[in-house]
Amino acid sequence: MSSPRPLLPPLSTYPVESEGFNSIRSNAPLPSSSDSEAPSANNHNQASTMNTSKGSQHESQLHDANLSSESNLGSQPSFPHSRSTGEAQLAHSGSKSSAFHSKSKRQRGYSWSDGSTATGFSFPSNMNRGTSVKAFEISDQSSGRWSQKIKLEHGFPKRNGSRGTESDALGSSQREISEENSRLIHINDPDQTNDKYEFAGNEIRTSKYTLITFLPRNLFEQFHRFAYIYFLIIIVLNQLPFLAVFGGVTAALPLAFVLIVTAIKDGYEDWRRHRADRTENNRMANVWQDGSFQSKTWKQIRVGEVVKICANETLPCDMVLLGTSDPSGVAYVQTTNLDGESNLKTRYAKQETSVRTPEKEPISGIILCEKPNRNIYGFHANMEFEGKRISLGTSNILLRGCELKNTSWAVGVVVYAGQETKAMLNSSGAPSKRSRLESHMNRETLFLSSFLIILCAVVGVGMGLWLHRHKDELSTLPYYRDRYFNSSSNKLYNYYGMGAEVVFAILMGVIIFQIMIPISLYISMELVRVGQAFFMIRDDSMYDSDSKSRFQCRALNINEDLGQIKYVFSDKTGTLTENKMEFRDASVFGTNYCTSNVSNVSAEHGDQRSSAGNEEKEISADGIDGEVWKAKMKVDVVPNLVQLLQQDNITQESKCAHDYFLTLAACNTVVPIIQETLQKEKLIEYQGESPDEQALVYAAAAYGYALIERTSGHIIINVQGEKQRFDVAGLHEFDSDRKRMSVIVRTHDNTLKLLVKGADNSMLGIIDKTSNANLGKDAEGSSRDLISITESHLHEYSSQGLRTLVVGARDLSIAEYEDWLHRYEEASNLLIGRTKKLREIAISIERNLNLLGATGIEDRLQDGVPETIESLRQAGIKVWILTGDKQETAISIGISCKLLTSSMQQIVINGKSKEVCQELLEDAKATYGITKTKRKKAFLQRRRMIFSETVSEVGGHISNTSREMMHPPLALIIDGTSLVYILENELEDELFDLATQCRVVLCCRVAPLQKAGIVALIKNRTDDMTLAIGDGANDVSMLQMADVGVGISGQEGRQAVMASDFAMGQFRFLKRLLLVHGHWNYHRMSYMILYNFYRNAIYVLMLFWYVFYTALTATTAITEWSGQLYSIIYTSLPTIVVGIWDQDLSDKVLIRFPQLYGSGQREENYNPYLFWVTMIDTLWQSLVIVYVGYFAYTHSTEDMWSIGSLWTIAVVLLVNFHLAMDISSWTVITHVAVWGSIVATWICLIILDSIDSLPSYGTIYHVVTRGSYWLCLILIVVLALLPRFLLKMIKQKIWPSDIDIAREVEISTTNPGYSAAELNQITASAPR
């Protein structure tokens, strides 16, 4: 194919070399100010300088907290610039092409104003802000003519980026660097740096303990639990002779066991941290010392030293970049270890230091930087170097843990080391959360504590009454005496008076009944949670094959909360969607080029699409420099648009299309990675911090505008097969206030162009209305202009669920650019308010743009998202979407994922003021009859609604159609601007009343903090459990605010994962996580807590009843060893096994019938009613144990140790049979645990009764020979469990729950594929 005529001069007129930036020089004439300001013949590209009051007014509305769909919290790369504005036009006759040919062969010289010359000198490629440059002259030595003389005070700025509200919030540029708030670093002089104040060394320590501090600190941390302090007091009381009920060692055994097990676990974990620390600290790095770079361990590196890092090495500390192997001072780093993002980020060395290397000449200077802080996205410092003060920012610092990529080496000076590095300061995990069951457990523990006090008071009062009744017999009673038998001495025998005896009786009661507070429950819960987490992690159904990642359980203490979720707050991009962007539609100069239409046509007439749709798109047929270059990602193109770009005649439409794709290729931070294939082809892979940018650059490459090289000062783009170089003269990064990005480039003919892309609501207000092209009339005869047509295309794209951006550009005059540059340089050197000022400067130049068009990028739904959301809805869970996308996009995605249905009535809240928002909320409430209710009443009302929905959906009493006719479901759609006025004023209650009555809520254009505010709106006003799920850094605040935070291991890094409680690879796994594992965990943990209360209470009540037959002296018939082993060996293992393995229903049933999840929302398995019913049952069973043995042995000669042996075996049998009645799924492990614990009890009794020093010596050998002993055991078990068995059978037959019905059907049905109608019929017939 013949090469079409390029839109820019051909490559032959613009030589490009590959040796680096300094070897690539543009010799094209730079237009003068007067020429640049002259009106252009092309109105579309005319640089208008008119006052755009409307655009300014729009800018004033941008200071809301909205987050653009393109927002990225990561540090954005920026680019220094290749030459000074002082390069003036060279007066030369002849054509532009001939001038290029003749001048490119001549040597240019620069003459400084002081008379010195530098032959072949090129102006520094990355002259940056804060750089003062002497006035210089440009000469053409071959001609001997001086073109002109320009004086400059500043070169091109290196860092032209204005940050967003994130930076402002952190205040990195808002505070002045003073002596009190800064540190002084002497470059390459660590001794002087650490002379006044010894900064932290580079040795890190993530471990908590040392050999000296382990015991005291570990005990201190464990005793933060009040229960441990309680048991410690019990042990101390038991050491007093007059209160000793158990032996000193025996009394301390339970607490000691728990403390030792926990200490071993903590010690092992800390040992692993110590080992990792040693490995990290002993890694080697190259440090400049004694005139060369020498190897040194990381832990020996000091602040102020110069360190050299080679490719693929990890940075040992935070350091300011001084120079790299790239002549322009650029370095690429991967921050996976820091924030989880795998995309490359660009960092730069300042020009003054990048040309210096320690090997050639020593580097010295002073850096004044802020004190160590956690802000990994901000850095504020100034550097004094060779008499110049240079500003340093985020783009100039390399952080510990990053890896150097695509750069041979980099040199930097250490500013933060060891524990003061930003990575270490951010090493703390997510805030600790507490499960709801554990909170309720504390409530029941308080009840049991009160009951314990009552029991002890009864013992004490009873003792006092008994002493008062027998006060005259105390000297002669054989079993309770106040004096020695030797009457002559008349000496008191451990008797301290009635009052003291009453107090002692109360304290001894506390010691005896201490087991009422189940200390073993704490360690049992920890073990159960670990087991539950293990099986969740090993669940292959939640394994993501694409990312090769398993489910992660990062917070073990809230497993059971997964079974009680009522609200799910979900991000959209990367959570519901794949976050793998694909360029779909392009609106260029009012024409809509849709690839989907091309795909449909191709499907009908054979695949005749452009070759750009191949798996790897060739950049051009002829290649570049004789080589074949291909883009890695597939992009479909529209042939008509390709033909427009390749046509020979240049029209206004083709020029607009050229600028459109030039903007897509140049206005970004994408880095091209060139790889050579086995077929000797050049494969281009684009690495960027934003998937949107990558998709746009791949699209530009597919249409013939391939970005093939990026340095700190220029970019090279292959334009239709011809290399074109563009010097980057300025760049303003994307931020969430402006919601756009702009770059100033200088073309081959030295024209300065401003290229801008951003969100529609931020771009349309800065479009020059005077350049709005008239595109004729439509079918109805109405005039069609470019802006209105583009807006209609944007609406169409959004309705299809596409992510949209608007593209604009304009030419800049020299005078306008110099004015911008001067103001930018002044702002960049500010110590206070730098970020705000830079943003204002960006806004001032981003105006009067020519509208080029718009883009539509598809972010496809993940697999299984619609099915998952439908299952969650059937489970009674409300799903709210919180996204930064525009409203139309969010609505389209809501329809695609079946969150929004055609039957729903949509309520849209788009207010621009507090008054408007209040009016919209009140109108919506009045229209749909929503009244303001008290929070508690609203909560009960919602619980009744859940109950009724479960009845109707499972039982089928009311059809969906009839129910929606009576009460149509509501969907609330609200934007971020409205939330600003609502969440910051007294309108929160109004929003709460409306939102909680809606089935679906979509929040559009919301900022990260607004996401957290929405979660707090529900969390702080209801008792409903909330879950937030997201994949990006902007979701972190939402994840930490919710009761449960779930991170998605997606394309936006791992910040969300690191801040989450649970993490997984796909949104669809949420269905199994909640409906299966959440249900199981809640059911198991609820039962285990109640069972532990029952198990301990029955033992205490058994001892309490016996007290009445020992003159209320707190005497026990059970040996002290059996009492202590009861909770440790006799009964602990079965409840742990059941808590890990028991399944009330199979996973297939739980997945097939999501309504069964409602039992956790309604707290059916753990509530005060069940607690008190359990306590009443415990009371009955304890009476049976005591009085069966009492009546059996009343007239016998058996001693109390014999009846104590009976009670020990009886209570163990009883609690294990009680547990066996409630086990839903028996496994080999369950059988071993339950029946094995009974056998273990017998073995322990035999061992204890074989010790002749114990009072129960030989008892077990005696009682087992009696038939009455075995008869009593049978009677106790039958009589004690009979009421429970009967009530349980009656309830399941007459008042079955959904779980009971589903279990009955599952057990009775041999075919696992039974119909839903069968279950619905049974459920419908069940009384409620």
Neighbours of 142 (CB within 10 A): 13
Residues 119, 143 contacting (CB under 8 angstroms): no
Q: How far apart are CA 1028 and CA 879, in angstroms?
A: 10
Length of the chain: 1328
3-class SS string, 418-469: HHHCHHHHCCCCCCCCCCHHHHHHHHHHHHHHHHHHHHHHHHHHHHHHHHHH
CA atoms within 13 A on the CB side of 1320: 15
1173 burial via Cβ count (<10 Å: 0-12, 13-18, 19+): middle
User: Which pair of tokens denotes residue 1125?
Assistant: 């082993």
User: Which pair of tokens denotes residue 119?
Assistant: 């032959």
User: Which pair of tokens denotes residue 277?
Assistant: 């620390």
Residues 558, 1061 contacting (CB under 8 angstroms): yes
Residues 1216, 1276 contacting (CB under 8 angstroms): no
H/E element holding 1202?
helix 1200-1222
Q: How far apart are CA 1065 and CA 552, in angstroms?
A: 9
Q: How far apart are CA 1014 and CA 882, in angstroms?
A: 9
Q: How far apart are CA 50 and CA 40, in angstroms?
A: 15
User: Which pair of tokens denotes residue 888?
Assistant: 């139309």
CA dist 111 → 99, 106, 156, 715 (Å): 22, 16, 19, 28
CA dist 548 → 522, 544, 1064, 1067, 1068 (Å): 35, 5, 10, 15, 15
Residues 236, 246 contacting (CB under 8 angstroms): no
Query: How does DSSP assign 400-423, residue by residue?
Result: TT-EEES-SEEEEEEEE-GGGSHH
Q: How far apart are CA 126 and CA 21, in angstroms?
A: 9
* Residue corresponding to tokens 């249905």: 901
Neighbours of 973 (CB within 10 A): 21
3-class SS string, 207-218: CCCCCCCHHHHH
What is the end-to-end Cα distance of the chain in Å, rounded?
Answer: 78
User: Which pair of tokens denotes residue 516?
Assistant: 């009422």
Q: How far apart are CA 788 and CA 1162, in angstroms?
A: 52
User: Which pair of tokens denotes residue 127?
Assistant: 């002259």
Please give the backbone phi and psi of residue 1162, each rounded to the nearest 5 degrees, phi first: -90, 0
Nearest CA-CA partner of 305 in 199, 377, 381, 376? 199
Question: Can you tell me whether residue 1328 is helix, strand or coil?
Answer: coil
Q: How far apart are CA 1295 and CA 1287, in angstroms?
A: 11
**1070 Cβ contact list (under 8 Å, min separation 6):** 568, 868, 872, 1029, 1046, 1064
Active site residues: 571
Residues 646, 3 contacting (CB under 8 angstroms): no
